Structure 1
Amino acid sequence: MKRFVRKSISIGGTWIGARYIYRELLFPFFFSIGVVTFVLLANFLIKSVDRLLGKGLPGSVIFEFLYLNLAWIIAMSVPMAVLVASLMAYGRLAEDNEITAMRASGISFLTILGPGIVFGFFVAVFMVFFHNNILPDFNHKARLLSGDIYRKRPGLNIEPGYFMDDIPDYSIYVKEKSGEHLRKITIYNKDSQSVQTTIYADSGYLEIDGNTVLFTLYSGEIHELDIGNLQDYRRTDFRKHRIAIPVDNLMLERRDSARRGDREMTIGMMRANVKKYAGERDKILEKMQKLVKTEIDTTGALEIKEIKKIIEYRKEQNLTNLPKKEADIENRRLNSLYTRLQGEANLAFSYQKQVNKYQVEIHKKYSIPFACIVFIIIGAPLGVMTRRGGIAVAATLSILFFLVYYVFLIGGEELADMVIIPPFWAMWTPNILLMLIGIYLIYYAMWEQKTVDFSRLLKFFRKKIKRQALKTLKT
């Protein structure tokens, strides 16, 4: 530790000290990415089991499905990993009194914090690139593959001794099965309501060719009975008989689509959409302004509530000043005008919602990466205050702050989508609030220099986790 301090304060030694802190940050950063990604991926896999099992999907498709969904998981895990890394790195330095030694040697806390902020900055720059260039394509391909998997019919699962009804209009019973070879086969054809067809075979096998199921049967009989005329009965013996049954979506059909959702677009694509929808909105507002000016002879009242008040006032004036017949005609015209303006206002509002939706995603591509810097500003002083470099404290505090961050982020996104608050404030408010908390923590760490005990918080979380685990085991 003393050798490190001497190097840190020697000529050119500041860079050596920075490299030392970078090394302290790297291992917990990558370790945290691995752990958080594994937890989120396992949770996603559990939720997707019902969608994947029973579809007869090859392992390569399942692997591709998980791989494509890994992008949004990494987008979530990296900011949290930065927070865990800063808590562990600076907590370890404080626990071993290296922070105290550096500050005693004249190195300010802000200087010690500098390498962490630089580290967070480079991670944030990479995440902006990731959010804009990698994540949209992965989200697009994941959505298409998910739709293809959903449309695919379950794989044919023939169990001896049970009827199989997976093929439409057919019911199949097999007494014995060895691989693809079947024995004692009964096939009921329910395709026709006028003729009942039943096929019996001593043996046979099943093949799948594209979206067609092929049965090759040996030594059997075909029984056909006319439901309308029970005396019309036919029986046909065969040595070999083949049945081809077309089944839609039996095989996984990969489809492509040029249409993309807002989370599947780059910033450039979304800005083009913002420009398009904002232009449509402005055209409607301009049209409304002209209507208001020409029809009710007023300007500046574009709010639909204000227009309604003006129209109601005009209707009252008409009833007072005009003969009843003329007043009724004029008021019907005003009612028709208000209905038209209300429709135009609703259309303009829908365009504004589209504008907000894309602006939210544009800001999100910057605000979430910027959270990496904010989490350094929070994590470093917290680590110094706790003086604990272990994973337990770091993970607990990280989960706490991360939950707060995402609650504000998701809440802000919903409010912006409903055109209640501007997209900028919706996406940047969590960063601003946590930044203010981080600045206070830096001030506290610089001047108070007191150790904060989070043992009670840890005990609380451990109890909650144990209770949840017991509930899960009981269910």
Structure 2
Amino acid sequence: MKIIDKYILKKFLSSFLLVMALLLPIAIAIDVSEKIDRFLRNADLTVTEIIKDYYVSFIIIYGNTFMPLALFIAVIFFTSKLAGNTEIIAIHSAKISFTRFLKPYFVGATIITIFALVMNHFVVPKSNKIFDKFNKDYLTTKKIDANYLTNINLQLGPNDYIFFKSYTVDRNIGYNFSYEKYDGINLKYKLSSDNIHYNKKDSTFKLINFKKRFIYKKRDSIVSGSRLDTVFSFTPKDLINVAYMAKDMNSIKLNEYIKQSKQRGVSNLNTYKVELHKRTSLPIASYILTFIAVALSSRKKRGGMGVNLAIGISLMFLYVFFLKIGEVLGAGADANPLFMVWLPNLIFGAIALYLYLKNAKN
């Protein structure tokens, strides 16, 4: 790596860290001012717990959120300074092409992208879990009852289905349960009961007031009784399908959950798929935003850095706008979540390519 590459890379990373160091304290100060009264209401809550369980997770989560914005501002900031000091003119005078000039930016963007990918897929989900628990325990006034589930249906395999009228999570008891087995579209077997109890010790189910129905070509056979102990290929945790769970699972677990739920016939998993795809698309955007920022600020303009920052921040907000629209639309039952999540990158990737070709010609 040449001296100029090391110089630009050093400026790239130091400017990025500086912007992050400016954004995060502002976010923390705003959050403290909004939450201080709720912290004080909990007499048993210590300062150490607030910092360890809330603000450490807050920094990880929001630092990850601010990363693309910080990167974009940082690149515009120091590249505009290079252009303003005519350093870029000197670089081009040394017969260094625009493509070659981008090399240290590419290296810097790669470092940040790899870091962001690790954070998004493994670190942030763990922090989300701690952060959400703290919010639920101390800051949320309206409690959500996730203990009582109603109208549950689940596909256990290609031909096996279960139904619950309701299920109480903490007691592991379900009501109006039925298990159905099909051969194509024809029902072949049905097991139903008034109540079903799950035993954690041996992973068995106890059915109360059960009825078995075997369906043959010319007749049906019915067997009934007061109690039946049996096993099924599901556990009570498989019945819970709450959207916020997606943020709390690392990508390996989330991908396994999506595959398993798809096999079991869960109707709409797009919320989970959007979360999974976003964890990759957002870090990859570091390359796109870096190249756009360099292309915008590598030439000296009248108005200097202020004009570049104004254009850059406007583009950044447009990117965030498209990203949020893509997330909302991608979560719809009939949408393609992969396409919708990557759509902002496709749009801004086209802008980056246009700006690159324009600068490479000059």
TM-score w.r.t. the length of structure 1 is 0.51
Q: Contact conserved, 2:296 with 2:308, CA < 8 A, in 1?
A: no
Per-residue deviation, residues 312-366 of structure 1 (Å, max 9, x unmatched): xxxxxxxxxxxxxxxxxxxxxxxxxxxxxxxxxxxxxxx2422x12211111111
- The whole-number CA distance in structure 1 between the counterparts of 2:28 and 2:334 is 34
Q: Aligned residue for 1:272?
A: 256
Q: 1:110 to 1:151 in 2, by over 3 A?
A: closer
Residue type of the partner of 1:66?
Y
CA change 1:445–1:357 in 2 (3 A) is same
1:140 matched to which residue of 2?
129
- 2:301 paired with 1:409: no
Q: Which amino acid aligns with 1:25?
A: F
> Identity over aligned residues, as a percent?
23
Partner of 1:263: 247
1:383 aligned to which of 291, 297, 315: 297
The CA RMSD over aligned residues, in Å, is 2.3
Selected match of 1:58 from 46, 50, 72? 46
Change (3 A) 1:130 1:80: same
1:119 Cα deviation after fit = 0.8
Q: TM-score w.r.t. structure 2 length?
A: 0.66
2:15 equivalent to 1:28:
yes
Q: Deviation of residue 147 (structure 1)? A: 1.3
On the 8 A contact 2:77/2:305 being kept in 1, the answer is yes
- 2:273 corresponds to which of 345, 352, 359: 359
Letter paired with 1:60? T
Aligned to 1:47: 34
SS at match of 2:264: helix
Change (3 A) 1:151 1:40: closer
2 CA distance for matches of 1:397 and 1:35?
20
Residue deviations 1:95-143 (CA, integer Å, cap 9, x gap)? 1222122222211001001110121011101110011121111110111
| Structure 1 Cα separation of the partners of residues 338 and 32 of structure 2 | 34
**C-alpha contact 1:83 1:376 (8 A) present in aligned 2:** yes
Specify the structure having the higher radius of gyration (Cα): 1
Q: How does 1:77-96 map to 2 (within 5 A)?
A: 77-96=66-85
Matches within 5 A, 1:58-207: 58-64=46-52, 65-150=54-139
State how far apart, in whole Å, the 2-side matches of 1:368 and 1:418 are.
Answer: 20
**CA distance in structure 2 between the aligned counterparts of 1:58 and 1:420, rounded to whole angstroms:** 47
Find the aligned partners of 1:47 and 1:385 in 2 and give their Cα distance: 42
More strand, by proportion: 2
Residue aligned with 1:418, SS: coil
Query: Number of matched residues?
Result: 259
Distance 1:388 1:75 in 2: 34
SS in structure 2 at match of 1:385: coil
Aligned to 1:16: 3
What amino acid sits opposite 2:31 in the alignment? F
Any residues of structure 2 matched to 1:207-286 within 5 Å, and which?
Answer: 261-281=245-265
Q: Partners of 1:121 and 1:24 in 2: how far apart? A: 15
Structure 2 unaligned runs (5+)?
A: 142-241
Report the 3-state secondary structure (helix = DSSP H, G, I; strand = E; otherwise coil) of the residue aligned with 2:335.
coil
* TM-fit CA distance, 1:435: 1.4
CA 1:359/1:389 → structure 2, altered by over 3 Å: closer, same or farther? farther
1:167-190: CA deviation from partner (whole Å, max 9, x where unpaired): xxxxxxxxxxxxxxxxxxxxxxxx
Match for 2:282 among 368, 373, 390? Answer: 368
The answer to whether the Cα contact below 8 Å between 1:88 and 1:389 also exists between their aligned partners in 2 is no
> Which residue identity is paired with 1:27?
S
SS in structure 1 of the partner of residue 95 of structure 2: coil
Runs of at least 4 residues off by over 3 Å? 385-398
Q: Write the distance in 2 (CA, Å) between the matches of 1:40 and 1:388.
A: 33
Amino acid at match of 1:120: A
Of residues 433, 439, 455, the one that matches 2:347 is: 433
The amino acid across from 1:353 in the alignment is N
Q: Relative to structure 1, is the Cα distance of residues 151 and 99 closer, same or farther in structure 2, using a 3 angstrom cutoff?
A: closer
